[in-house]
Amino acid sequence: MNDFRYQLVIQFKLRDDDYARQDEVLALEDDLIEHLDPDVVFLDGHDAGSGEMNLFLFTNEPAEASALIKRIMTARSLLGQSTAAYRPTDGEDFVPLWPEGLQTFEVV
C-alpha cells in the first residue's frame, strides 16, 4: 500500500440481521475496487457490528476521492443512506464529508 496521508470511512447504520443492506454494501465495495485507481484511493476493507458497517479507504486527496466515490454510490442509490468522514492516518479526529451538516463522526 502507498503511504497515504488520510483514512476515509464510509459508514452505514444497520441492524446485525440486515443481510440485504450488508449485501448492498459488499456489492458497493466490489464496485469501488473495480472502478477506483488504487494509487489514488485504496479500499482496505470493511467491518460490521455494533449497528454499523464501515468501508475503510486510504487516499492523499480526500475531496477528490469522495467525489469519485459519491458518483459510484449515487448510481447505486446508496449515498443518502450513508455518512462519510476522513482523518489523517496518524490522527484521531474525523472531518465530516457528507451528508451536508454532519457535525460529528465516529467509528464504534
Residue range 41-64, pLDDT digits in tens: 999 999 988 889 999 999 999 999
CA angle 14, 20, 24 (to 5 degrees): 85
pLDDT for 4 equals 97
| Domains by residue range for the chain, with CATH | 6-98 (3.30.70.600)
Q: How far apart are CA 12 and CA 55, in angstroms?
A: 9
Nearest by Cα to 70 from 107, 103, 100, 38:
100
pLDDT for 1 equals 59
Residues of the chain with pLDDT under 50: none
The DSSP bridge partners found for residue 12 are 53
The x, y and z cell numbers of residue 46, run together, are 470493511
Nearest by Cα to 8 from 68, 49, 48:
68
pLDDT for 2 equals 74
pLDDT for 20 equals 84
pLDDT for 102 equals 94
